Amino acid sequence: MKPKAEDNISGFLDGYKARNIAILEDTLVYDIKDLEKLLFLLTELAKENQDFRHEFETISDIYNHFKNNSFDILSRLIELGGDLNNFLDIIKDNFKGKYSNRIEDIIFKYIEICEKSKNQELLKRAIKVASKINS
């Protein structure tokens, strides 16, 4: 059984984390909606071209997972950073060339959101994703 002081500290930290996530969600709600729209647009563009079937399936999964509101925004953004990082590693060069502006818009919006969040984990992921823009 935990001592009462540990329970109090744990409860305080849980409340502090929940409050920070709520503030983050309120602050970034419009940026998140913009990012969702950018992901949706790339998904729709990729759907039209049979040569990019694998990229379409991947970006569609990323989009559907990101718009899932059953997770808090911090978790969604952390997951998106990993997904974008992996996506940039697996896409074909001709897909990257054809949709480079759309991909860059998504990455820049992600970076902007991460900077606004001031969350160190998100900033690390944003830097990792940003390093792949011109690769």
Read off the pLDDT of each residue in 65-90 and give the average, rounded to a whole number: 91
Least confident of 4-13, 21-30, 34-43: 4-13
Between residues 69 and 86, the one the model is more confident about: 86
Read off the pLDDT of each residue in 42-67 and give the average, rounded to a whole number: 94
For residue 57, pLDDT over 80 is answered with: yes
Which pLDDT score is estimated for 24?
61
Which pLDDT score is estimated for 54?
94
For residue 110, pLDDT over 80 is answered with: yes
- 20 Cβ contact partners less than 8 Å away, ≥ 6 residues apart: none
Between residues 17 and 60, the one the model is more confident about: 60
Between residues 40 and 3, the one the model is more confident about: 40
Read off the pLDDT of each residue in 40-59 and give the average, rounded to a whole number: 94
Q: Tell me the longest C-alpha to C-alpha distance in the chain.
A: 61
39-78 burial: b if 16+ Cβ within 10 Å, else e: bbebbebbeeeeebeebbebbbebbeebeeeeeebbebbb
Read off the pLDDT of each residue in 96-109 and give the average, rounded to a whole number: 94
Between residues 118 and 105, the one the model is more confident about: 105
For residue 25, pLDDT over 70 is answered with: no
Least confident of 4-8, 30-34, 109-113: 4-8
